[in-house]
A and B are shown apart, each in its own frame.
Chain A
Amino acid sequence: MTGLLAQAQTVSGGQRTLTIALFLSFVAATLFITIRASRNNATAADYYAGGRSFTGPQNGVAIGGDYMSAASFLGIAGIIALSGYDGFLYSIGFLVAWLIALLLVAELLRNSGKYTMADVLAFRMRQRPVRVAAGISTITVSIFYLLAQMVGAGALVSLLLGVNSDAAKNITIVAVGALMIFYVTVGGMKGTTWVQIIKAVLLMTGTTLVTILIMIKFGGSVSALLGDAAANSGQGQAFLEPGLRFGTDAQGIAGKLDLLSLGIALVLGTAGLPHILVRFYTVPDAKAARKSVLWAIGIIGSFYLMTIALGFGAAALVGPDAIKAQSPSGNTAALQLAEAIGADFFGEIGGTVMLAIIAAVAFATILAVVAGLTLASSVSFAHDIYASVIKKGNVKEGEEVKVARIAAFAIGAAAIVLSIFAQKLNVAFLVALAFAVAASGNLPAILYSLFWKRFNTTGAVSAIYGGLISALVLVIFSPVVSGKITPGVDGAPDTTTSLFPVGTDFSWFPLDNPGLVSIPFGFFCGWLGTVLSKEYNAEKYAEMEVRSLTGAGSEKAVIH
C-alpha cells in the first residue's frame, strides 16, 4: 500500500501540472467556441439541431466524438490488457452496430423527424402516450450512460492526479458536471458538436501516436506484439484465444449465453441510443446523414482497430500485475501504456508528457460525451414531455428552448448528485445496461415505425415500456446486482462482484446482460400491442413513407 502511494506521488509531480495545463487549454478552447456558437442560438432548430447546417464529414467526426466514450477508450483497452482476445469482441460489436444505423435508421429518421427520437415514433400515432414513453426511455438511457461517464471521471482523476480521496472524486464530478451544463445551456447543439469534433480529433491523434510507437517497437509485426502480450500475461496462448473472460468453463452454459447476449445488445443498442439519433438532425438532408455515418464508420473502425495495439501493448509493456495494482478492472491500462511507451522512446520526460497527453484526452472524451447525453435528454424533456404533454402543444418556441435549458441544468445537477452516490457501481455495467435498454425498447419501436405499415400507438407504447421494463427487471434479478460469489481460497472470506454484499442473494436470472431475452421481448410486445389495436391511419402512413424515402417536406437547414 505504501509502495502504491509512493508511486502515485512520484507520478503526480510534473505530470500532474502538465495534465492540468493541457486539459485547461482544451477547456479554454471549447469554452471559447461554445460562446461563439451561442451567438446564433435563437431558434429551436439552432439550439436543438445546430441549425441543421453541419456538413456530413463534420457530423461524422462529431458522431465519433459522441460515441467513443471513456468506457470504450479506457475500458476496452483495459479488458484486452487483462483478458486478451475477449476484450476485442467489444470493439467488433461497437463497430458492426453502425451498419444498422446506416442501412435502416439514419436517412429515414433525418427525413421524417425534427428534433428527437419521439418525432419519428409519434409521427403517425397519438402524440401524447408515445412521446411520454419515448421521453421516459430517452431520459433513462441517458442517465445510465451519464452515470457511467461521470463515475469514470471521478475514478480517473484520483489515479491521474495521485489523490485518492472521496473529496477529490466529488470535486471532479462537480467540475465535470458544471462544465457540461455550461456547454449545453450556452452552446446548445452547435457548441456541443464542436466540443465533440475537437475531442474526436484529439482522441484519434493521441491513439494513433501511441499505436505508431507500439508498432515501431515491435518492428511492425502484430504477431510479435501478440506473442509478447501472451508471454507477459501469465496466461500463455489462452490469452490470444476466446474464453478468458466470457463463457469460461467455470461459468458453464450461462456464461456462453451471456456472451451471445452481450454481443447482440452491443450491435442492436447503438441505433437506439437517443444521443446518437439526434446527431442525424444536425445535417441539411438525408444524403448528408448517410455521409455522416460513412465518416463515423471510418473513424470508429480505425479507432477500434487501434484498441488491439493499446490493449495488447499494455499487456506486453506494462503487464497485468502493474495494471491491476492501479485499477483491478484495468481502466488505467491505456494511461500506463502511454507512460511506458513514451519513456521507452523519449526517456522519462517523454513518459511524463505522453501520460499527460493521454490523460487530458481521456478528460476531453468524458466531457464531450456527457455534454451530448445531457443535451439529448433535456431536449427530449422540453420537446416531448413539456411541450407536447404538459402544455398540449400550446407553447411558443422560445419558451420551449428556455425549458430545455432549465432541463439541462436540472438533469446535469441530478447526474452530479447521483454520480456522487453511484461511485461503487461498475462503469461497464452501466454502459451495458444503457445499450440493453436502447436495444430492447427504442430499437423495436423505431424499426416498426419506419418499416411496418400496421404499427400503431398501442404497439409503440408496448414496445418501449415492454423493452425498458423487462431489461431493468432482468438486470435487478441478475448476478450483476446480487449473488455473484467468488469462494474465498484457504479460509479467506468469500468475495462478490455484485452490487449487494455477500450474503444477500435474490438473483434468479442467470445472465449478466438481459439482451438475449429483453430484446426479443421488446419486439414481441410491439407486435402484440399493434395487433390488439385497430388504429390505423393510411394518410399519415403515406405521408411518413413518402417523406422518409424521398425527403419531401423534411426539415430544412437554417440560413443565417
Chain B
Amino acid sequence: MSTSRERAATDAGGGSTFLEVQATDEFQGLKKTLRRFIFPVTIGFLAWYVLYILLSAYARDFMGTKLLGNINVAYLLGLLQFVSTFVIAFVYSRYAEKHLDPTADTIRHRLEETTP
C-alpha cells in the first residue's frame, strides 16, 4: 500500500517540491488564515460548553431561575448551545469558501500541473 502513497507523492511533485511550496508566503498565509479562525473558535466554543456544564453542576439555583412559563435559564443556555453550534458551522463554511478555498485551489492546481 505504501507504493501507491509514494506514487501520489511523486505525482504531486515529490518531497522537495512540497518543501518549496511549504516555504512560500502564499502557503504560509493559507496556514495562518486557517489557524487564525479554527484555533480561537475552538477554544471559544469549548470554553462556552464547559461553562454551561459547570453552571449545571455548581450554579443550580441560577440555572433554575424561571424566565418564561416553565422555561428556565438552563433551557435557554442549552438552546443557545444549539444556536452557537449552528452559527459557528455556518460562519466557518462562509469563511472557508471566501478565504481558504481560492488559495488552496491555486496551490493545488499548480502542484498537480507540474506532473503528467
Contacts and interface: CB of A to CB of B under 8 A. Distances in A.
B34 A549 contact: yes
**Chain B interface mostly:** helix
Contacts of A85: 74-75
Contacts of B19: 538-539, 542
A242 to B, nearest CB: 4
Interface in B1-50: 1-5, 8-9, 11-13, 15-16, 18-19, 21-22, 27, 30-31, 34, 37-38, 41-42, 45-46, 49-50
A99 B5 contact: no
Given A287-B101, A549-B27, A552-B12, A400 B1 contact: yes
Contacts of A247: 57
A242 B1 CA distance: 52
Given A114-B5, A294-B93, A221 B69 contact: yes
A259 B59 CA distance: 13
B38 to A, nearest CB: 4
A51 B29 CA distance: 33
A181 B21 CA distance: 45
A395 B2 CA distance: 10
B59 to A, nearest CB: 9
Interface in B87-116: 88-90, 92-93, 96, 101, 104-105, 107-108, 111-112
A486 interface: no
B107 A260 contact: no
A102 B37 CA distance: 12
A520 interface: no
B8 A227 contact: no
A297 B42 contact: no
B45 A92 contact: no
A175 interface: no
Nearest to B37: A103
Contact of B74 (A98, A100, A241): A241
Interface of A: 85-86, 88-89, 92-93, 95-96, 98-100, 102-104, 114, 127, 221-224, 226-227, 230, 237, 240-243, 246-247, 256, 259-260, 263-264, 267, 287, 290-291, 293-294, 297-298, 301, 304-305, 383, 387-388, 393, 395, 400, 538-540, 542-543, 545-547, 549-555
Q: What 9 A-B pairs have minimum CB-CB distances, sorted nearest first?
A: A223-B69, A553-B12, A539-B15, A226-B70, A241-B64, A242-B56, A552-B111, A263-B53, A542-B22
Given A127-B2, A237-B64, 7 more contacts: A85-B75, A88-B78, A89-B78, A99-B85, A260-B53, A263-B50, A551-B108
21 contacts: A89-B56, A92-B78, A102-B89, A103-B38, A103-B41, A224-B70, A226-B75, A240-B72, A240-B74, A241-B74, A243-B60, A246-B57, A260-B50, A290-B96, A540-B15, A543-B9, A546-B21, A552-B12, A552-B111, A553-B12, A553-B111
